Amino acid sequence: MAGGASGLGEATARALHARGAQVTIADLNAEKGEALAAELGERAAFAPCDVTDEAQVAAAVEQAAPTGLRISVCCAGVGWAERTVSKNGPHQLLPFETVLRINLIGTFNVLRFAAAAMNALDPLDSGERGVCVNTASIAAYDGQIGQIAYSASKGGIVGLTLPAARDMASRGIRVVTIAPGTFDTPLLGALPQEARDELGKAIPFPQRLGDPAEFAALAVHITENQMINGETIRLDGALRMPPR
């Protein structure tokens, strides 16, 4: 469970654990990750993990592998707000590279190591070895002003979903992406309640921010429904983001 110490990742870790899964919470935030693992107790462990670091991702997957890694969920990600060109000149290159490295390359890092671990397992009676669930965003489709780095990174995750699923179809490994809309996560937690309410009102129905538990419920359903494969599912209450 990459990025499993807070937000969407934490909710998914809780949901999978509640259904009997052995959960490895892989995250940069050791304090939150260890606290969550301790709270969940049996069948939960923490693994320090920077998704851009090959060795750390490999170690986290290795830690999860002895129990049979069948489910990988990646929720790790960051944002950055900057226009392509502003009064200060062109968009800075380093933030753009950083966002792509964490969001896109980090997701691919988790995907490739997790899938390799699944590939080493015997298939279940259904022929399935495992499922990889990635996290994009509706910004992949409706990127707003100043979201060029974030949108490009999330668009890349959408783009890799089908070819990755096709790559691993013969091995019985599914790849599915969730593209959430505006959710009540720590990223929005710093906003005043009035601003959070306004964001919720922009959603056609239900007119509120998404609950991380709703993301988790979809992630769990994906793990249970073998026919969902190679697809990106929008989870946004019919929201289509305006330019700003």
The residues annotated with a catalytic role in the active site are 150
CA distance 151 to 144: 8
Beta strands in 75-200 (DSSP E): 85-86, 89-90, 130-135, 173-180
- How many CB atoms neighbour CB 5 within 10 A? 27
**Omega before 206 within 30 of 0, i.e. cis:** yes
CA distance 59 to 96: 27
7, amino acid identity: G
Residue 244 tokens, joined: 């700003």
Residue 161 tokens, joined: 């979903």
- How many CB atoms neighbour CB 54 within 10 A? 12
Which residue, among 120, 149, 127, 119, has the nearest Cα to 137 in the 3D structure? 149
Helix/strand/coil for 213: helix
Read off the DSSP letter of residue 104. I
